[in-house]
Structure 1
Amino acid sequence: MSKPLGYYTTHTPGDGSTLDSLQEQYGAAFEKITKREKLVILTVLASGLGCEMDGDCRAEIFDIARVMSERLTMSDRAGVMEAIINQIRWGQNAELVHHS
């Protein structure tokens, strides 16, 4: 069983927020949204967050993502996504070293 939206966010049921409306329409755990639709939401949100952050992305990261997409099972890809989301959320990020 999935946890409700408020477990992961600042949402409080009945607060009249955007999250409250989404929860009312799609369920407390987004159970009325398909896996495919949830992946679309993740794609859009991740892209938006990435655009808001400072800095560039190393070219090799696109290669790593392509290799993962081609070679990992669906379950392992979802697991990598979960790991990355947790690392982003809780600040477990490497700091790039910039050489002059």
Structure 2
Amino acid sequence: MSKPLGYYTSYTPSDGSLLERVQEEYGSTFEKMTKREKLLILTVLASHIGCQLDGDVRSEIFAIATEMRDQLSLSDQAGVMEAIISQIRWGQNAAEPVHHS
């Protein structure tokens, strides 16, 4: 993350928010966090957002995710994460799949 937190969020300096507190303690680019700590935050937030959405996850998507975990390099795994975050943030998502009985 080369840009400061405010670039990605609604945080503005001196707003007294949680984001201000996080930035003051861990740096505007989270430079005072380890990669493992950043991944933990990503995991918690992704899980929370996912639980807020309607619909089910297709079993083949779970299988693909497992294959990615097992077969891709860590760099490629991070690249997939970055691509997905961008797509989620900017609305590049397919419609909910239709399940036929």
Structure 2 length normalisation: TM-score?
Answer: 0.94
Show the counterpart of 2:47.
47
Larger relative contact order (C-alpha < 8 A, sep ≥ 6)?
A: 2
Aligned residues: 100
In structure 1, list runs of 5 or more residues that go unmatched. none
SS in 2 for 1:13: coil
Task: Give the Å deviation of 1:16.
Answer: 0.2
Structure 1 length normalisation: TM-score?
Answer: 0.95
Task: Give the Å deviation of 1:78.
Answer: 0.3
Show the counterpart of 1:15.
15
Rounded Cα–Cα distance in structure 2 between residues aligned with 1:63 and 1:72: 14
Rounded Cα–Cα distance in structure 2 between residues aligned with 1:97 and 1:56: 9
Show the counterpart of 1:69.
69
Deviations 1:34-64 (A, max 9, x none): 0011001100000000001111111111100
Task: Give the Å deviation of 1:2.
Answer: 1.1
Task: Give the Å deviation of 1:97.
Answer: 3.9
In structure 2, list runs of 5 or more residues that go unmatched. none
Identical columns (%) = 68
Rounded Cα–Cα distance in structure 1 between residues aligned with 2:79 and 2:58: 22
